[in-house]
Amino acid sequence: MKVLYIVLSRLFQYYRKNKLIFILFIIGGISSSLAVAYFYGNGSTYMANRSSEEFYYREYEVYFRQNGEHYGEKEGVELASVKEGLELIDQELIEKVFFGVDISLEEYRDGYKTRLFSSTEETYLVAIRGRVYFMPEEEWSIIIPSDSKFKIGDTVNINGHGFEVIGQQTFNDYYIPYSAYEKLQLPVSDMVIISEKRPDYSEDQLLIQLQEVYPDSHIRSPWLWRLNERNEAVAAIIIIAVCYAVSITSFMFLFKYMIDSISDETVICLIVGGSKTEMSLMLFWETILLSLFSNGIGIGLHKLLYTSVFEKLNIAENIVYTLADYSIICLVMLVTSLIVVIPFVIRYYRKSLIDTRRMSVR
């Protein structure tokens, strides 16, 4: 409590003796915190996509393989058995299901295997040419991948049946109507499930049920997308912290000026028994309080004016700041400020009593 009183007293002396410098220092801290908050939200895809309902944040891939080999028959498991398992899963959690199998097309890739998926009328494919969805009456039609040698109107032979190419899309897989997939009695080596809504990663009910129904399969959940974006966000935070450190270094020279201006008080503290270590710790406490004060104002302004001002400046849509985000921003700025002030603290620690007296600003 005594140390806090002395620190607050010194901060008041900074303001009393150097009002303009003190105000400039606080304004610099506020502007820096606003910049950090902006780049925290716009510097990575994590914030923009956190509430996204795009299909790849709801996509589960079930692989009926083990150590690279298919389960069951050579080319996969029976479609009927996979469908029986799906009936045991809460259907309210599922929006779409695609069944897939690895096949060899002699006309394509010199016989190398490619994936063929079943599809209902609607798909999530992005068109390059033609249509990337099937009409209800279409059965022997096919949508080809971007690197296929086939063209719109060509015929692709699969298990003795000809499929007319109606469209080309950006993914690497072929798509045929579900009715044709079922009539060809194709097995299933891969199954893609699109959930009805974005899952709760802390308790993913669909993933839990898939693991129970298909215990021997390998399941890839949409959590991988989120994990990759979190790793990207960590890298972005590090870059932001470095930029913040560079920006506040210039303001730290204002802080140095204010410290020099009350060197008389510092000398008195040393004379009456204060140690250099205690004075150094007080500089850290001053940095903490000044950082929390200026950053708190900056974060408060950002929160208060976000809808009316700052949201319009975002380069991405749907960026929502939570209390946790603001807490991370404050913590990053506080830790960075303490790191930046270390050289200044070391400088004062090495000064003798006489040198400290000479630093007084007249």
pLDDT in tens, 149-176: 888 999 988 888 899 999 999 888 899 9
Average pLDDT over residues 332-347: 86
Q: Where are the domains of the chain?
A: 2-51+227-358, 59-221
pLDDT for position 36: 92
Structure tokens given for 58: 């709801």
How large is the average pLDDT for residues 91-100?
A: 89
* Helices within the chain (DSSP H only): 2-17, 19-42, 45-49, 79-86, 178-183, 205-213, 223-261, 263-271, 276-304, 311-313, 323-350, 353-358
- Considering 6-10, 61-65, 250-254, 335-339, the range whose residues carry the highest mean pLDDT is 335-339
Give the list of residues 6+ apart from residue 213 with CB closer than 8 angstroms, or none: 85, 86, 88, 89
51/286: higher pLDDT: 286
Angle ∠(20,26,30) on CA atoms, nearest 5: 140
The residues, any chain, with a CB within 8 Å of residue 342's CB and separated by 6 or more, are none
pLDDT at 148 exceeding the cut of 60: yes
Which pLDDT score, from 0 to 100, does residue 70 have?
A: 43
Which string of DSSP letters, residue by residue, matches 168-220?
EESSSSEEEEHHHHHHTT--BSEEEEEESS---TTS-HHHHHHHHH-TTSEEE
What band does 260 get if pLDDT is binned at 50, 70 and 90?
A: low
Distance separating the N- and C-terminal Cα atoms of the chain: 31
pLDDT > 60? residue 208: yes
Q: How confident is residue 72, by pLDDT bands cut at 50, 70 and 90? A: very low
pLDDT at 152: 92
What mean pLDDT value characterizes the chain? Answer: 81
**pLDDT per position as a tens digit, 262-320:** 666 665 665 655 666 777 777 788 888 888 999 999 999 999 999 899 988 888 777 88
DSSP reduced 3-state for 133: coil
- Per-residue pLDDT, averaged over 197-205, amounts to 81
Q: How many residues does the chain have?
A: 362
Q: Which residue has the higher pLDDT, 120 or 292?
A: 292
For residues 94 and 195, the answer to whether their CB atoms sit within 8 Å is yes
pTM over 0.75: no
- Identify which of 129, 177, 132, 178 has the alpha carbon closest to the alpha carbon of residue 150: 129
